[in-house]
Amino acid sequence: MSGFAKPLKIALGLIVIAGLIAIPMNFNRYGLFILSQWAVMTIAAMGLNLTLGYAGQVSLAQGAFVGIGAYASAIMTTHGWPLPAAIVVAIVLAFAVGWVLGYPALRVQHHYLAFVTLAFSTLAFLVFRNESWLTGGIYGISNIPRPHFLGIATTKPLPFYYVCLGSLAIVSLAVWWLIRSPWGRAFMALRENPLRAQSLGIDTRRYTLMAFAIGSALGGVAGALYAPLTQYIDPVPFNLSLSLDLLMMVIVGGAGFYFGPFLGAMIAVLLPEWLRFTEGYYLMLYAIAVMGLLVWSPTGILGILDRYVAERRTKAASALRAVAKSRLETAQ
Amino acid sequence: MSNLFDLLVAGLATGAIYALVAVGFTLLWQTSQTINFAQGEFVMLPAFLMLAAMHVGAPFWLAIILGILLSMILLGLGFKMLLVDPMMRHGVLPLAIATMALAIGIKEAVKQFFSAEASPFPSIVPTGDITVLGHVVSLQSIGVLVVAILAVFGLTTLLNRTSLGHQMQAAAQNPTVARIIGVPVERMILLTFLINAFLVALASLLITPIYLAKFSSGEVLGQAAFIAAIVGGFNQVRGAIAGGLLIGVLDNLAAAYISTQYRAAVPMIFLIAVILFRPQGLLGRAEERTV
Amino acid sequence: MSAVLEVTDIRKSFGGILAVDGVSFDVREGEILGLIGPNGCGKSTLFNCILGQLTPTGGEVKLDGKLVTGLRPAELNKLGVSRTFQLLQVFPKLSVRENLILAGQEHQGNMASRLVGRSDAGLTDAANQMIGFFKLDHLAEEPAGGLSYGQQKLLDAAMAFMGGPRLVLLDEPAGGVNPTMLSDLKERLVAINRERNATFVVIEHNMEFVMSLCSRVMVMAEGKVLAMGRPDEVRKNPAVIEAYLGH
């Protein structure tokens, strides 16, 4: 990117972060709940973006991994374990399940993972609903406690919002590190040109599996935070619809772009709320907005930006060529 | 066992409706790589259009015709031009997501502009029971089966026996080559959308009298059609038919013999089994393994 | 000189068609072997069998005496075999330098170290050296997609060398490159062959390119080896002349 853009981007970033910290202090309970939900869903969407946007695999089970994380967290914290421990368990569990699912699935045809995750999503929902000895079945788990950090209780909406925001920050840094590392480069390579990637020594199967397992683990993290956020969970939210919603967030934000999930989660979680003033029509308008956005830019919001930059570059190159050509002609 | 017989027939009848919806779904996928998550809502909507026509005074037979025509215009032509065409070049996912939004839009629109309550819907098939082979069977089931079979028969004849059908198949299997040999591929694709609109309108006509017209009925229908298409093998029309019938029967049997808690699980478990052990579906063709 | 690559009786059939019919040859360390033949003679299929893109129906491939038949391309690359592609396969959105880092990164450390280590896997210097060697300095930061065809070909070649390979298989490196760029390319290939004692096998149609670059040339026709020897010998071989002109 050109020189002047970088300090501008950093400044913009700092303003946004400051805003995310300061502005919600004036929000009411509901507003804080929604914003916390946005933060949690962004984490799940970032995971899916790794699997889909970077490694190019469709997963229809991200919602199930959120569920796994949520139940792990709910069960553990209602038995007295601290939330960070629950998050670690959620990560390990979701990663392991992702690995087990992905290992056989990725050996076969292209879209097989999509089908396997679809089946798993259904299976997970059935398990959540029927294994009541563990999950409380259709009655779920209630009175999920919120954590204490260094003596500060986060039971109130604002402190817990900061827990969510802080977790989002940590996850964002981790994902940024991953993308910038050789792994991130390998992910991109296997998405863009798997044949070429293989000829360069990139074990496409291994990296794809890793992307999927890590992506699923992030789903687990989101779930582990979702449980104390809502303080009551039952199987209903963790079905295929959530996986499809997360898919929508990734696509609408822009698959394969780092900030895509942030924007996508904003659209999915915040936009309906902003439209509520239209009363009965708000979901219709939301649907129209999403359809319109996708028709205008099927590569998502950040895809528009990408297109814009590419167009400017092409125009600049064309302009240069035109100048060179005219110089050549006048010289003759 | 007369119970079982009636259940089977009723299951086949619902299954036949699922089959119609699944066939349309599969056709859209085959010809334009469209995964239509709004297919269930597509089935829900035509009944409401017909109800609206009757509301302004049209007799039932006219409402049916208007409903079908409107469906073909909105859900066939409109859908294709406004959503599918702009997004086709960008891969499967963006369009699939857009249809998810479309499903929400249609559902909410019906809820807002018609009603959130369930409305009754007249049947084109006479009610009552008849006795077949010593078993009592509802005329409704028989009627639905007959109409659905006729529709499917008509469609398969079109696809396999007519020049138009062959062109459609060519456009679906290999659009590049089809274009070269002069098949109007774009028009063929449009035709599949129109056919899908017709099929969903027909399905709407058949199923709404049974389950009443409600804005939320699209969810269950869409899911059943989706599962049926996958179980039957995403790639084949025949498979969609088989899948639909199978799901219909399974669902009905499960409803009767299994407690409500597990009932919804049966099609799902079946889906899982098919995906894991026979991913190409029951009738689909196996795709190649990767290196 | 020892043989880096030993190919013994490789056969590949597709259904009823025998594309490669019992090909055997050795490639000695440091040499540049040319592989020529009319279209459809099986050169590319042979390449793909050696590289693991296809599994041969029969026969063996040995790299430095070690049996490598049927190993996947990624594994072969780790053992020191790399390739260039006939149809360009650079990563257009990455810069030239990043393409090179990508090309070498899998040879640095292991997966774990690549996750927690440096973003460039310690390859910036090596990449810059390669950029200098192939005279792409002014383009180092440019997205690879914006380079001219000939420049991309140079990048493609450079990428093949980043992993420090023992053996490089070049698939029609001269294809579509203009004459000026071509002499640059040839000169660079000769230089890198000398400097690193790297072994090449080159498929080419451009006779002049092959004859001037290669120490030995192998001619294939209809899936079999027709002739093998020094360029000037092969050129005069009547069977070779007929294979090319007689079809």
Contacts of B104 in chain A (CB under 8 A): 283-284, 286-287
Q: Is the pLDDT of residue B221 over 50?
A: yes
Whole-angstrom Cα distance, residue C187 to residue C193?
Answer: 10
Contacts of A104 in chain B (CB under 8 A): none
For residue C7, the surrounding DSSP H or E stretch is: strand C3-14
Whole-angstrom Cα distance, residue A225 to residue A247?
Answer: 20
Contacts of B98 in chain A (CB under 8 A): 290-291, 294-295
Q: What is the pLDDT along chain C (247 residues), one digit of tens a residue?
A: 568 888 988 889 888 888 888 899 999 988 999 998 888 888 888 988 998 888 888 899 999 888 988 888 889 998 989 999 888 788 988 889 999 999 989 888 888 888 888 888 888 888 888 888 888 888 888 888 888 888 888 899 899 988 888 899 999 888 888 888 888 888 888 888 888 888 999 998 888 888 888 889 998 888 888 888 888 888 888 888 887 765 4
- Residues A159 and A152 sit within 8 Å (Cβ to Cβ): yes
CB-based contact, C40 to chain A, within 8 Å: no
Q: Model confidence at B285, in pLDDT bands (50, 70, 90)?
A: low
The pLDDT of residue A1 is 45
Joined tokens for residue A148: 């204490």
Nearest Cβ partner for A204 among C74, C102, C107: C74
Nearest Cβ partner for C89 among A182, A183, A193: A193
Nearest Cβ partner for A202 among C98, C106, C146: C106
The pLDDT of residue C245 is 63
Q: Which amino acid is at B117?
A: E
The closest alpha carbon to B244, from B151, B107, B121, B173, belongs to B151
- Measured CB to CB, residues of chain A less than 8 Å from chain B are 52, 58, 107-110, 112, 115-116, 118-119, 122-123, 125-126, 129-130, 244, 247-248, 251-252, 255, 280-281, 283-284, 286-288, 290-291, 294-295, 298-300
Q: Which amino acid is at A332?
A: Q
Joined tokens for residue B113: 């502009």
Helices (H), chain A: 5-22, 29-49, 62-78, 83-105, 112-130, 132-135, 157-180, 182-192, 194-199, 204-230, 240-253, 260-265, 271-274, 282-296, 301-331
Beta carbons within 10 angstroms of residue C189's beta carbon: 22
What is the mean predicted confidence (pLDDT) over B257-284? Answer: 70
CB-based contact, C189 to chain A, within 8 Å: no
Contacts of A252 in chain B (CB under 8 A): 97
Give the SS3 label for residue C8: strand
Contacts of A118 in chain B (CB under 8 A): 230, 271, 275
Joined tokens for residue A88: 């670690």
Contacts of A188 in chain C (CB under 8 A): 91, 94
- DSSP single-letter state for residue C144: G
ipTM: 0.85
Q: Testing the interface with A: which of C119, C147, C171 to mutate, by most A Cβ within 10 A?
A: C119
What is the mean predicted confidence (pLDDT) over B161-176? Answer: 84
Chain A nearest-CA distance from B276, in A, is: 7
Residues 6 or more apart whose CB falls under 8 angstroms from that of B215 comprise B44, B107, B108, B110, B111, B114, B115, B116
Joined tokens for residue C77: 């690359």
Chain C nearest-CA distance from A133, in A, is: 39
Whole-angstrom Cα distance, residue A119 to residue A33?
Answer: 31
CB-based contact, A199 to chain C, within 8 Å: yes
Contacts of C146 in chain A (CB under 8 A): 313, 317
Joined tokens for residue C151: 């420049």
**Structurally, what CATH architecture does the domain formed by C3-245 represent?**
3-Layer(aba) Sandwich (3.40)
Residue carrying structure tokens 């507003």? A31
Q: What is the pLDDT along chain A (332 residues), one digit of tens a residue?
A: 445 577 888 888 889 888 888 888 888 889 999 999 999 999 999 999 999 998 888 999 999 999 999 999 999 999 989 999 999 999 999 999 999 988 887 776 667 788 888 888 988 998 898 888 888 888 888 888 888 877 788 888 888 999 999 999 999 999 999 999 999 999 989 888 888 999 999 998 899 999 999 999 999 999 999 999 999 999 999 988 899 999 999 999 999 999 999 999 999 999 998 898 888 888 999 999 999 999 999 899 998 888 887 788 777 777 777 787 787 777 66
- Do the Cβ atoms of C89 and A196 come within 8 Å? yes
Residue B106: closest C-alpha in chain A: A284
Q: Write down which chains contact chain A via at least 3 CB pairs under 8 A.
A: B, C
Q: Which amino acid is at B5?
A: F
Q: Model confidence at B37, in pLDDT bands (50, 70, 90)?
A: very high
The pLDDT of residue B279 is 64
Whole-angstrom Cα distance, residue A94 to residue A84?
Answer: 15
Contacts of C89 in chain A (CB under 8 A): 193, 195-196, 199
β-bridge pairing C199-203 and C167-171: parallel
Chain A nearest-CA distance from C234, in A, is: 31
Q: Testing the interface with A: which of C47, C75, C99, C115 to mutate, by most A Cβ within 10 A?
A: C115
Chain A nearest-CA distance from B224, in A, is: 13
Orientation angle between helical segments C149-161 and C124-133, nearest 10 degrees:
130
Q: Is the pLDDT of residue B104 over 70?
A: yes
Give the SS3 label for residue B178: helix
Instruction: Read off the pLDDT of residues B62-90 as tens digits, 9 standing for 90 and up.
Output: 999 999 999 999 999 999 999 999 998 88
Q: Testing the interface with B: which of A107, A122, A125 to mutate, by most B Cβ within 10 A?
A: A122
Q: Using a pLDDT cut of 90, give the percent of chain B over it.
A: 30
CB-based contact, C184 to chain A, within 8 Å: no
Q: Model confidence at B283, in pLDDT bands (50, 70, 90)?
A: low
- Do the Cβ atoms of C105 and A203 come within 8 Å? no
CB-based contact, C159 to chain A, within 8 Å: yes
Nearest Cβ partner for A299 among B90, B102, B288: B90
- Do the Cβ atoms of B279 and A126 come within 8 Å? no
The pLDDT of residue B1 is 47
Contacts of B82 in chain A (CB under 8 A): 295
Q: In whole numbers, what is the pLDDT of chain B averaged over residues? A: 84
Fold of A26-296: ABC transporter involved in vitamin B12 uptake, BtuC (1.10.3470)
Chain B nearest-CA distance from A291, in A, is: 5
The pLDDT of residue C174 is 85
Residues 294-323 of A with CB under 8 A from C: 313, 317
What is the mean predicted confidence (pLDDT) over B46-59? Answer: 91
The pLDDT of residue B282 is 61
Residue ranges covered by each domain of chain A: 26-296
